Amino acid sequence: MRLLLVEDDARIAADIVATLTATGYVVETTGDGEEAWFRGDTEDYDLIVLDLGLPKMDGLAVLKRWRAAGRDMPVLVLTARGSWPERVEGIDAGADDYLPKPFRMEELLARVRALIRRSAGHGASVLELGSLRLDARQMSVTRNGVPVTLSPLEYRLLAYLMHHKGRVVSGTELLEHLYGEEDARETNALEAVVTRLRKKLGPAAIESRRGFGYTIADGAA
């Protein structure tokens, strides 16, 4: 899952990036409101964590411009502004959730997981499909009750397909959501990850639709 963190406090940003990266997310960062608006308007993210007190363009203005342009990615607002009218203003501007500072990283992670689940139409942190069970909270995968050891990239790919089960995901979309902005995004590398997953989960777990992309099998092998 690919996230954008918009936070101008370098210390807070570093702590959030470390936490999110350690739990399997690919995180891009900016502390500039104008750059945040541009990235959110031109790139696809699974979720954006947005601080309101930003240079060049206020976070609320950024959020309003995204929503006015039809950008519907989940947005979790972070702010030191604690009064309830300001929280209401953030929700009315299009925020999906609101987390006042200071906060615990455990709560941030829980809200991130919940927003990503809801945006994909899932209510629980555990996704099950056939013999596969993916626990987003524990970052664990089992097949027929047996733990499966996956690399971070393999886990992100499987999680993305399971969050979007029932549809074919193009290779381009997968590359955009699995890799960071500085990582090489090559189709051959993606195919290699899919091949490794099939060896671990079963050859029929991930189906290829030539010319269209990949989908998680209904029975998940």
Q: Which domains are delineated in the chain?
A: 2-119 (3.40.50.2300), 126-216 (1.10.10.10)
Q: Work out the pLDDT band at 184, boundaries 50, 70, 90.
A: low
- pLDDT for 123 equals 63
Query: Could you tell me which residues are beta bridge partners of residue 78?
Result: 51, 99
Q: In this model, does residue 81 exceed pLDDT 70?
A: no
Average pLDDT of every residue of the chain: 89
Residue 70 pLDDT > 80, yes or no?
yes
Closest CA to 140 of 162, 119, 169, 116: 162
pLDDT grade, residue 83 (50/70/90)? low
Residue 92 phi/psi, 5-degree rounding, is: -65, -30
DSSP string, 150-194: --HHHHHHHHHHHHTTTSPBPHHHHHHHHS-TTS---HHHHHHHH
Compute the half-sphere exposure of residue 73: CA atoms within 13 Å on the CB side of its CA.
25
- Local confidence band at 155 (pLDDT 50, 70, 90 cut-offs): very high
pLDDT in tens, 33-52: 999 999 999 999 999 999 98
- Rounded to two decimals, the pTM is 0.76
Amino acid at 153: L
Q: Using one digit for the tens of pLDDT, what is the confidence trace for 86-122? A: 777 888 889 999 898 889 999 999 999 999 988 877 6
Residue 29 pLDDT > 70: yes
User: Which residues make Cβ contacts (< 8 Å) with residue 89, sequence separation at least 6?
Assistant: 60
State the Cα–Cα distance between residues 96 and 115, nearest whole angstrom.
Answer: 7
Residue 204 has pLDDT above 70, yes or no: yes
Distance CA 147, CA 149 (A): 7
The confidence score (pLDDT) of residue 118 equals: 86
CA-based angle 165:48:44, to the nearest 5? 55
